[in-house]
Amino acid sequence: MRFVDVKLDHLQMIVDESGKNTPTLRKLKVMLGLMYKYAVIHEIIPKERNMVEYLNIKNAGNPNALNREPFSKAEVSRIWEAKNGNTYYTVILMLIYSGCRVSELLDLKKEDVNLEKRYFNVVAAKTAAGVRTVPIAEKVYPFFEYWYNLNDCEYLLSTSEGEHFKYRNYYDSYWKPLLNAVGMKHRPHDTRHTCVSLLTVAGVSDKVIKKIVGHKGQDVTEIVYTHFEIAELIDAINKI
């Protein structure tokens, strides 16, 4: 992603997902401020694009203050039960059973979803390994189908008004209230850890897990010579 394309939502997500305390985030904010000052001076971005002053670090806390563990089996079961009362619980399940980052799912366009062949493409990611084909698990396929056909929004997921989700809006207006309603405290990234944990318990190999969730391979051989057909990835994700 080009520096000029970075939005406040991207910066805020980094802060919210970091789990770092206030002193650490103050240092981060100072560093970002210097970066933006440099960008303005060298005319990389206009002055009004300096968004650091709007970055909220007030919700910072000790990383141990929130549950940093994957969702437990009981918690996943409660999410399944809760979905009947609120459709937006299905988004949490889609995250758990795909292992993708919340930003990847929120920014997923319908044109990158292949319902017939049961996969979707992540075309923009934080790392090169993150650009990948992700299998759609049988358990959550109906949810992908539902959101795909819900409205004319170009993105798979949308707000109650049919608009593209901004991370801050999703986190504050959907994620937190939904989890509070079922008595849980998790960050969106915990869904990713949950998927990896479930795949590991199911006996899926590390190489396949990395391919699904977009982790970089550990060595050159693993990166260059390992190739998986989508059918293999679908078979793996359906084990959880």
Print pLDDT tens along the chain (240 aa).
788 888 888 888 888 777 778 888 888 989 998 998 888 898 888 887 878 888 888 766 555 444 468 999 999 999 999 999 999 999 999 999 999 999 999 999 999 999 999 999 998 655 545 578 999 999 999 999 999 999 999 999 999 899 999 998 999 999 999 999 999 999 999 999 999 999 999 999 999 999 999 866 544 444 443 456 899 999 999 999
Rounded Cα distance between 135 and 59, Å, is 34
The per-residue pLDDT for 168 is 87
What value does the CA radius of gyration of the chain take, rounded to a whole number of Å? 19
Rounded Cα distance between 3 and 190, Å, is 27
Residue ranges and CATH numbers for the domains of the chain are 3-54 (no CATH), 73-237 (1.10.443.10)
Q: Which residues pair with 133 in a beta bridge?
A: 121
**Helix or strand (DSSP H, E) at 121:** strand 119-122
Backbone angles phi, psi at 134, to 5 degrees: -110, 125
Full-model pTM: 0.72
The per-residue pLDDT for 104 is 93
User: Would you say the C-alpha torsion 187, 200, 99, 173 has a positive or negative sign?
Assistant: negative
User: Side chain identity at 155, as an amino acid letter?
Assistant: Y
- DSSP code at position 114: E
Copy the structure tokens of residue 35.
């970066």
The per-residue pLDDT for 219 is 47
Candidates 171, 195, 164; CA nearest to 76 is: 195
User: Side chain identity at 100, as an amino acid letter?
Assistant: C
CB 50 within 8 A of CB 169: no
The SS3 of residue 132 is strand
Other Cβ atoms closer than 10 A to 56: 14
The per-residue pLDDT for 164 is 94
The per-residue pLDDT for 221 is 43
Backbone angles phi, psi at 8, to 5 degrees: -60, -40
Rounded Cα distance between 48 and 50, Å, is 5
Rounded Cα distance between 95 and 91, Å, is 6
